[in-house]
Amino acid sequence: MTRDRIHFLFLNIGHYLDHLFTLIFATVAALALSREWGLTYSQLLTFAAPGFFAFALFSWPAGWLADKWSREGMIAVFFVGIGVASIATAFARTPLQIGIGLFVVGVFAAIYHPVGLAIVTQKWKNTGMRLAVNGVWGNLGVASAALITGYFIDHGGWRIAFIVPGVVSIVVGILYTVHQWSEVVAAHHRMSAPAAAGPAYSPDVKALLLRISVIVFVTAAVSSLVFQSTTFALPKIFDERLQGIAGGMARWLTALGIPAGGDVATMVGAFTFIVFAVASLAQLVVGHLLDRFGPRTVFMIAAAMQIVFFAAMPGLRDGWALAAALGFMLGAFGQIPINDFMIGKMASGEARARIYGIRYVVSFTVLALALPMISFVYGNYGFDTLFWLMAGAAALIFVAVACLPAKLPMPSAVAAAA
């Protein structure tokens, strides 16, 4: 395996771990702490919100530090820091303590997206497919959070679900630092060199860039609302709506002599993993289509899928609910690399991590706000109302994307427009 391939593998593992860590608590809250600590699911979500706000607000400082110091160095800090924070969170004894732990996890989790994606889009060609492959790894992290945490809840307790990934991340961080040490040292000199002045643009081009930038950030915000609402709430949705097939599958596996077969929590985690894993493959198709056709048509198809399946989901249970959930998750996961593709094509290289940082401040702030929204909607109206709200959000994305030009302007211009 070449040095570049090993580097890309490390970045993919980082994306996997980033999403794994940010969603461990979603399954812990749904399947363990609500029973162990005597708090409702809605009450527990309150303590997760600060972590997601940190995930948002620290994205721009992480991008700024990466551009000014070292992108590779910041990825090393991410691996080790988030691992230590996760292990510390496992020792929480009160909701306040776990909230503080999740906040620190969020601070380190904020590093990956602006820094890792800046490396991916600048270091390699075929940007759409690279982002898609990297995105699949991140989505597998989302999926594994439910599967791994559900397993550890049944076999050892929820604290192990924070400790084991934490140890793994620290080890990976040490290996990454050793592998990329020469880049970490050299990057400071590269990043500190004076940047060339950006080109001048006509008023028409500036207006076009402004329109595209507004669409990028609006759709990024709304897409984040949809993605967070679905990925965070899906374990609880399946806990409520798949009890029939989860129980049946558990009994069937028990009859076959499989020890974990009798655990419904493991089955719920497994169904969540299957939906996330299958839906994540949509990004590979999207990545290929982005390189070939551009973002407008691909984005509209992904939004249309979400409108249809979110509107179909209310009232469904067991097999039909599983099928509809797979449908809207295919759309939600498929749209993930599109905004990053547009920024990667248009952003100047020397400021790319900062621009990604701004994009993720917007996205993850909305992502954090989704938690109190889920809590309020679920506590007062139930999940059916949430599905209708998500169908409306997908319709808004569809309308906004229809305003994109058929082809993006290719000059590195977003920084100058900003």
Q: For the chain, which residues make up each domain, given as ranges?
A: 3-189+203-417
Q: Average pLDDT, stretch 266-283? A: 82
Query: Is residue 195 helix, strand or coil?
Result: coil
> CB under 8 Å to 273, separation ≥6 — which residues?
143, 144, 146, 147
CATH annotation of 3-189+203-417: 1.20.1250.20
Q: What is the pLDDT of residues 330-378, one digit of tens each?
A: 998 888 888 888 877 766 556 677 778 888 788 778 877 787 888 888 8
CA 389 to chain centre: 20
The angle formed by the CA atoms of residues 69, 74 and 80, to the nearest 5 degrees, is 145
Q: Average pLDDT, stretch 6-12? A: 93
Alpha-carbon dihedral sign for residues 34, 39, 42, 43: negative
- Residue 148 tokens read as 């791994």
Q: What is the pLDDT of residues 181-197, one digit of tens each?
A: 877 666 655 555 554 54
pLDDT of residue 194: 52
Q: Which of 177-181, 186-190, 269-273 has the lowest mean pLDDT?
A: 186-190
Q: What is the pLDDT of residues 246-269, one digit of tens each?
A: 777 777 777 776 655 556 777 787
Helices then strands, counting H and E runs in the chain, come out as: 20, 0
pLDDT of residue 235: 82
Instruction: Provide the whole-model pTM.
Output: 0.72
Q: Is residue 57 within 8 Å of 361, Cβ to Cβ?
A: yes
Helix (H) or strand (E) holding 223: helix 203-241
Helix (H) or strand (E) holding 53: helix 41-57
Report the percentage of the chain scoring pLDDT > 70: 88
pLDDT of residue 418: 42
Helix (H) or strand (E) holding 182: helix 181-191
End-to-end alpha-carbon separation of the chain, Å? 40
Q: Which among 102, 105, 110 has a CA at the least distance from the CA of 83?
A: 105
pLDDT of residue 128: 76
> CB under 8 Å to 204, separation ≥6 — which residues?
none
Q: Is residue 99 within 8 Å of 47, Cβ to Cβ?
A: yes
Instruction: Answer whether residue 53 shows pLDDT above 60.
Output: yes
